[in-house]
Structure 1
Amino acid sequence: MTTQHPMFSSSFPPADDLLVSGTLRNDISLHLCHGHSRRDIHNDFFELLDDPSEWTRTRKDPFPEDFDAIIDEVAAEYAQKVTEKSADAQRLDALRDELAQRNLAFSFDEGWDASEGAEYGAEQAEDEGAAGYVYCHIQDVDRLIHTGDLFFGFGTMKTDDELSTAEAVGEELVEALRAVGFAPDWDGNPNSRVLCQGLVVEYPLAEDLTDAE
């Protein structure tokens, strides 16, 4: 059974993904489902907002004369649908600490695809001196919002004998996911990602958006 974010029952259901423009309000809704702040949303749109002609050339909806008012409109409905961080979102927070205890870095919602996600994961592992890394890239989080399915990729930095193979990192990841309350599914193949299904990951509005309530 597909598990969707509560914003799908709102006036502004989330767009399909962050890189393909939908209507502005649906795009903003997706950003909020990712847990993004007002600043994050502005950073994503600032080039188009600085050049109305570019906006008209690349988007179908009209140029927003008051961008923040539109953000506030969507955020007000979001605040009615999501009042607190969901249990699965709290488990993801706990997962970061659980992985750190196992000498693994965790990159979440960074990089567009598996290749970029792995790059961010490896960079974070290098910064933290971790023996391996786990990652969920942007498209993974888009899929999570729409379906409740979340894939975890992983890899090794080959600096620790016990975690020198991707398979060993995958086994640690599965144990860590179980430890925080998830039910992971993995076939043991180091080239396959680990899947958790039926997740509902909700983040309350960022502090710079709470004035919309």
Structure 2
Amino acid sequence: MNLKTKDIVQVALFAALTAVGAFITIPFPFVPFTLQSFFTAFAGVLLGAKLGMLSQLVYVVVGLVGVPVFTKGGGPGYIFETSFGYLIGFIVGAYVIGKLSERVTKMTVQKLFLIIMTGILVVYMIGVPYLYMIMRLYIKSDVAISWAVRVGFTTTIGGDIVKSIIVAFIGFKIVPILSRQNLISRRGFHELRIHNK
């Protein structure tokens, strides 16, 4: 992937924003509620599939090498945290949001919301099984999959729906503006053609 300076700046910006989102948190046991998914969704909407995914990958790699950008710190041992599956999910979720957005020729707020929620659900599809696996295999806790769904999905999905609505409304308005000013790189992507009507 050939990256321009603008692309690198955008990737770094959203990696940093996701890191900031890790510290805007409401503590829950095992899976804290943070604003990380808010910036993950924005990365997919504004940067597209490849750069959005790359921004989240950079964030995760920086944390794994030891920079304390995750909610509970950083380092390679973080893969044993119950919430690490969601970090993997952010990488995939940003790509899904970006890719689906690129394929829509006439965007609406409603479509953008559904696209974002699809990406968020992908995050959960990775995060919840990972939570269950860590609890069973690493922590050696005899929990049921229903417990993992309740703790890792039910308690936080409401907040993610609200965040997705906000991202959809803001993204719907600012993507055309940023595109016209050539502030969003679309090289290698289908152009996001969002119609403000």
TM exceeds 0.5? no
Q: Higher strand share goes to which structure? A: 1
Q: Scaled by the length of structure 1, what TM-score is found?
A: 0.32
- Whose radius of gyration is greater, 1 or 2? 1
Q: Of the two structures, which has the highest relative contact order with CA contacts closer than 8 Å and spacing of 6 or more?
A: 1
Q: Which is helix-richer, 1 or 2?
A: 2
Q: If the length of structure 2 is used for normalisation, what is the TM-score?
A: 0.34
